[in-house]
Amino acid sequence: MLSLFTPVTAFALALLLGGFLASLYKGLPSWVLGTFLVTYIVLIHGTPAVLYGTLRYSWAYKHVGIVEYIQRHGSVDTTLDAGQIYQNWPGFFAGGALLTDFSGQSDVLQIASWAPVVFNLSTVIVLRYVFRGLTRNRTLIWLGLMFFLLINWVGQDYFAPQAVGLILYLAMVGLMLRPMSHVAMIGPFAVIVAAVALTHQITPLMMLMAVVALTALRRTNAWQLPIVALTVIAGWAFTGALDYTLPNLRELVSEFGNVVDNADQTLEKANAITGTALLVVWGGRSTVAIAGLLSVFGIWSNRNKQGNWHRWDGMGPRGIAAILMLLPGILVLTTGFGGEVLFRAFLFASPFIAILAAETCLPRDGQGFPLRSLVSAGVVIALVTPGFLLGYYGKEQQNYFPPEEVEASSWVYTHAAPGSLLVEGSPNYPARFIDYEKFTYVPLDREPEESIRGLLSDPAVRLSAWLVDSKYTEGYVLITRGQKIAVNAEQSMPEGSLERIEEELRQSDRFEIAYETTDATVFRLSDVGRNQ
């Protein structure tokens, strides 16, 4: 995708962003500003769906596999080892299955390709609702929305439960910022919390922290809300998700309070990266740093001014926004979340970083959007946009899967007998989206170092020994373009390992090619290999 950003494309993007700022400067109607935001979302997030013709992100295919499972069985199996966490929090996937059936599609792949556009549009709509609960300043609202779109580089807007979780979380915050009676609030609040409790694992924790904070700061007189939230969240965790919660409770408790270890689960992935991939990492980090520093500066420099915000008793809206910005940091105290906790913390903090950063560009009295503000906002946009593009699209070689790679993956899942062993070079390919629970998966790059060294010493002998194991009905080795790129970029194995393994299997009389495309090769044992 970054290769498409020629000087002409860059000029078009600059013209779009400049047109948005000019519209703010001239005080044009909200529908004009909204049109700029929608155009930006469609351009940035809709282009891959148009150009690629296939679904981005390997994790998105795994989520498609859960939807496909529900379509086949009409229910979930919370005891299933494969994808158990998804089976225990199935709200998003059940909704995907329902939408697929209503749309008449045979699978959810096409719908999933457009998920980033739908989720970003939905997030902006809900976020405007939140911002209007904090401020009466129209310019601050719209500039905050644009800043949010420009700093949210972490790529959590694909076909995944966390994208819906963020939307529901923001809807809950927006609801609690309204002056409503507890009787009027309790109904919609309970519905939102229930939807989150069934959909995601980490969002309920974030939501519970926000509810407690907003209630303690007297943003609502409905003191029952934390009790309702805790009851609903714990109720699902210890009933519907009991098969996952109990076996994993000890691990969850062990991660609590281990700030350094939890953060390291995210950082250690980046520390192994070198070369151009490191530029991508620092592109995203620079966006976080710039936006974060601006938000802190905005809080400090405007601490005695309320011109841009609603007037409340007690802590003002700016303080509430600051609390909601800092609150996700507590997630790092509680869990490593599979090495993604820092990304998730930034995801929940970014809306409030955006509006606080936007305030630094406005006059202190909150009046208008003068030329000085326009220039300031333009400088901020110029600083964060390159980092956003690097962070969001810098790994596109890994995240894009050509049709031939998807085709090879589909062949394996439709031809392998149930109970087969599928040896993958890496999980980074269109994986596990058809009959996913019927197979055993072994990613080579996730093997211990000693196992990898042994494997590389004689790939054909080692892999044939794995595949002849009698506990498997059949065995296949799948090596694809996306796997090779991911392994070489992340250095999860010595560079060129998968290329070497592929060549060794081609030369060995123990293996034969079962299926091949320009972007993937599927091996199985030959008669010689089966009789060794």
| Per-residue pLDDT reduced to its tens digit, 313-333 | 556 788 899 999 999 988 877
State mean pLDDT over 169-185.
89
| HSE-up (13 A, CA, CB side) for residue 62 | 15
The DSSP code sequence of 283-327 is HHHHHHHHHHHHHHHHHHHTTT--TTS---SSS-HHHHHHHHHHG
Residue 13, both tokens: 């993007």
pLDDT value for 297 = 84
Q: Report the range of poorest mean pLDDT among 320-324, 337-341, 404-408.
A: 337-341
Residue 395: count of CB within 10 angstroms of its CB? 23
Q: At 426, is the secondary structure helix, strand, or coil? A: coil
Cβ pair 401, 478 in contact under 8 A: no
- Identify the residue with better confidence: 333 or 22: 22
Q: At what angle do helices 317-326 and 115-134 cross, to 10 degrees?
A: 140
pTM of the model: 0.91
Q: Report the range of poorest mean pLDDT among 256-260, 373-377, 461-465.
A: 256-260
Cβ pair 414, 490 in contact under 8 A: no
